[in-house]
Amino acid sequence: MSSTFNPALVPPGVSAPGQVGVRAQPVRPSVQTPQGPAFADVLRDTAGTTPVTFSKHAVQRLERRNLPVDPTVMQRLQDGVDRAAGKGARDAVVLVDDTAFVVSVANRTVVTAVGKDQMKDHVFTNIDSAVIA
């Protein structure tokens, strides 16, 4: 039986038959330099781009309880939701002054709102985070 030499079967760094003392050049994987912006930069640029919205129920509660939402409150609410999202929260209570907003962080939607007068006996359920904004 004659043996034929197959160079594909010789591991990198091992001499081929008949080449005693000759060391093959080790194969080095090609290393690619990352292209484009860093993940942290993309995350920072996209965080908070979706505005916080209000469910129909939340709008009714705001009107019925006479809870004002001016641009300052809205910005603080937005910042609170951004902070909750950054920590991986799913459902949070965001406290802005005397108002508690229950927010679905994933949907960026205020589910309901409670003023300080209604907070005394109110229990918040099904939340995993609280943010003071």
131 pLDDT band (50/70/90 cuts)?
very high
pTM value is 0.64
Q: What is residue 35's predicted lDDT score, i.e. its pLDDT?
A: 72
pLDDT higher than 50, residue 48:
no
Tell me what the pLDDT averaged over the chain comes to.
82
**pLDDT tens digits, one per residue of 68-123:** 999 999 999 999 999 999 999 999 999 999 999 999 999 999 999 999 988 887 88
3-state secondary structure the chain: CCCCCCHHHCCCCCCCCCCCCCCCCCCCCCCCCCCCCCHHHHHHHHCCCCCCEECHHHHHHHHHCCCCCCHHHHHHHHHHHHHHHHCCCCEEEEEECCEEEEEECCCCEEEEEEEHHHHCCCCCCCCCEEEEC
Q: Where are the domains of the chain?
A: 52-132
